[in-house]
Amino acid sequence: MARICIYGAGAIGCYLGGRLAAGGAEVAFVGRPGLGAELRGHGLTLSHYDGRHWRLAPEAIAFSTGPEAAAAADLVLVTVKSGATTQAAAELAEVVRPAALVISFQNGLRNTETLRAALPGRTVLPGMVPFNVVGRGPGAFHQASEGESEVEDASALAPFLADFGRAGFALRRHRDMLPVQWAKLLFNLNNAVNALSGLPLQRELAQRDYRRCLALAQSEALDLMAQAGIRPARLTPLPARWIPLLLRLPDALFARLARGMLAIDPTARSSMADDLAAGRPTEIDWINGEVVRLAGRLGRQAPVNARLTALVHAAERQKAPPRWSGEALLAELHEGASRP
């Protein structure tokens, strides 16, 4: 049985697990039957925006659809969507060994708490994957943007650092992951804007009206975070407070000053856009919804993020993904913010 188990083999899980396996780690994947058939037929092909490639043949991939594959794992990386965390936690509670380390590499802020509640006595750490992974065909996954995986530091990580090192992951460690998670959430507020635009990320971010939508959502979140005493970690050269100002710049100036934000694969879309296109529930309640919940705890409102949340939920009920223009979406958010 595998030493490392990827629990929730989607784009992120397949990329992380595939890189670890390509580096020599013993890895098992747990995921949906459809993906299992894909990997049995095509294997895993991984690529990086800097030109690197990795390949795992079908016979080198241990894939299953049930939690039993996690029973012998020393390390479990949870990569299911946030809405599936409660179910995953209950499944893992039946099989995960007491000495196993569990890391949540998921969007949102509360998944680690859910896992810890279901897995008493185990070490469960919050982690974060900042880069975008896109599917490029059956069994093919591409890292489309920069960033290094982040995790809360703990002595239990020591036995696995070499595995991550051989895979080429720096695995940046932090004493407190909450500021890092809030900083990532600020960037993830664009997932809703991107999903509603119907455009690849690069084209969406190149248009000022879409960026102004994101700036509204981020500014609202930053104001609430400041009131709550939450200081987001600095994940970019600019402090988080300055990024909405950058987003509001004219297109030509933004393109010169924010090359890093636009240095992504031209075909990459947010995971939320992919979910809408596939007719799957999104993670909107664990991203923009977190800002709305923070506002509620403070006795305030978050009309911009509340409206984005409502628009994405409406899109989930539609047969075809929406295609809001930047101008129309910006007007909708301004109107929502002005309502009493």
The strand pair at 150-152 and 123-128 is best described as: antiparallel
Query: Which pLDDT band, with edges at 50, 70 and 90, does 266 fall under?
Result: confident
Average pLDDT for 235-252: 93
188 close to 287: Cβ distance less than 8 angstroms: yes
Statement: residue 334 has pLDDT above 60? yes
pLDDT tens digits, one per residue of 21-50: 999 999 999 999 999 999 999 999 999 988
pLDDT at 258: 86
Average pLDDT for 310-322: 92
Directed axis angle between helix 303-316 and helix 288-297, to 10°? 140
Q: What CA–CA distance (Å, rounded) separates 24 from 283?
A: 32
Residue type, 125: L
pTM tops 0.85:
yes
| The pair of three-digit structure tokens given for residue 275, joined into one six-digit string | 């979910």
Residue spans of the domains in the chain: they are 4-174, 178-338
Q: What CA–CA distance (Å, rounded) separates 169 from 20?
A: 9
Closest-CA residue to 117 (of 87, 89, 156):
89
pLDDT at 339: 62
The CA–CA distances, whole Å, from 226 to 149, 221, 231, 298 equal 26, 9, 7, 11
Residues 4-174, CATH architecture: 3-Layer(aba) Sandwich (3.40)
Beta bridge partners of 78: 7, 104
pLDDT at 188: 96
Pick the CATH number of 178-338 from 3.60.15.10, 1.10.1040.10, 1.10.10.10, 2.40.170.20: 1.10.1040.10
Q: Is 22 helix (H, G, I), strand (E, B) or coil?
A: helix
**Would 4-174 and 178-338 be classified into the same CATH topology?**
no
For the chain, the residue count is 340
pLDDT at 262: 78
| The pair of three-digit structure tokens given for residue 209, joined into one six-digit string | 């009206």
